[in-house]
Amino acid sequence: MTDEGDPYEEMPYGWEIRPFDGLVGLIPDGIRLGDHRKVIADRLVDAIGELGEVRTSRQTSSSTGLCDHYVDGGLVCFFDDEERLVYLEVFDPAPVFYQGLPLTGTPYRAVVTALEAMNVRLIEIASGVEAPDAGFNLIAPYGADEDHPGRVARVDRVGLFRSSIVAEPVTFSEADPVEPITEHRLVPGEGTETVRLGQDRHTLGARLGPAMQSRPEYGGASEDRYHDHGLNLTFDGDDRLTKLVITYTGATGTARFRGVQLLDRPYAEVVADLEAAGVRIEHGELAGRAPEHGFSLLLHGHGNPAMPVVAVVFTR
């Protein structure tokens, strides 16, 4: 292998999907759902010698886990808050196969027809199709859009998951609407004056009004999102609050501790104000933690101090 060019270019064939498990082929031990973040990086280094550019970010402002994009390798790895792989996207230059059928870079309609001929159950999603019994989805620009005559859509990405995405529908709770909560004052180690770790899901629902309810990718048994309040709440199997994320999308609001506004301000400024108020901050990757007070500050993109704080998190 040379030191120049695409480090994956000399790999023998590509990735093969193992449903609900991961990818095998290009590296000896493959990339498996549930693998630790460092294990994946080490395996790639052992196999190709050089990772190239790796872009680390958060999938959304409320994501407590990180995402690593291996640009040269055509891999995007999504991790939970314990750095275990929960979702994986793969695209060219690393070709992907399912039972020998080439997926990435192949005309979308031809792939769909071939999968149907193999009796693979497919369900249409907004950007392509999902194969819920085989553990993957296909993403294709214009793949399901018939309004672009003459344009041949090709499979752009393949996503791998641990359990069916479509099997966990989003529902809305039945509760009387309440006025939006746009100011949250933090209580050390507990949450806010309104919502505290350990509280009962149904009690909170009666207090906070209608919620968008779903099962989270990781970290709990259920999740309630209150967009008007800027709250994402995660519960365990006993319906007790285990994680509280304060973040506003589509609305504006505040989260304050000792008079310091934490959200939507440059991270460096927030840290300086907190330290001036006697709050110690431990710096981490795209995050800062106030260990004596039990909350973390999340950044969305690269760890530039000018980047704004996008969320405040309490975890039980």
256-296: pLDDT as tens digits: 999 999 999 999 999 999 999 999 999 999 999 999 999 99
Note whether 46 and 38 are within 8 A (CB): no
- How do residues 73-110 score in pLDDT, each as one tens digit? 889 999 999 999 999 999 877 789 999 999 998 899 99
pLDDT value of residue 147: 52
Q: What's at 190, amino acid-wise? A: E
- Give the global pTM: 0.86
- DSSP secondary-structure letter at 210? -
| Between 234 and 28, residue with greater pLDDT | 234
User: Is a pLDDT exceeding 50 seen at residue 3?
Assistant: no
| Percentage of the chain lying above the pLDDT 90 cut | 70
pLDDT, averaged across the chain: 88
pLDDT value of residue 304: 63
- Residue 205 — pLDDT band, cuts 50, 70, 90? very high
User: Is a pLDDT exceeding 70 seen at residue 13?
Assistant: no
pLDDT value of residue 31: 95
Question: For residue 136, which of 165, 175, 107 has the smallest C-alpha distance?
Answer: 165
| Between 146 and 71, residue with greater pLDDT | 71
| Percentage of the chain lying above the pLDDT 70 cut | 89
User: Is a pLDDT exceeding 60 seen at residue 26?
Assistant: yes
- DSSP secondary-structure letter at 145? -
Provide the H-helix boundaries in the chain. 37-48, 108-117, 201-208, 267-276
Residues with Cβ within 8 Å of 52's Cβ and at least 6 positions away in sequence, in order, are 7, 70, 71, 72, 73
Q: How many residues does the chain have?
A: 316
- CA distance to 160, 187, 191, per residue, from 294 (Å): 34, 9, 9
Question: For residue 260, which of 200, 203, 186, 199 has the smallest C-alpha distance?
Answer: 186
pLDDT value of residue 167: 46
Secondary structure class of 15 (helix, strand, coil): strand
User: Is a pLDDT exceeding 60 seen at residue 150?
Assistant: no
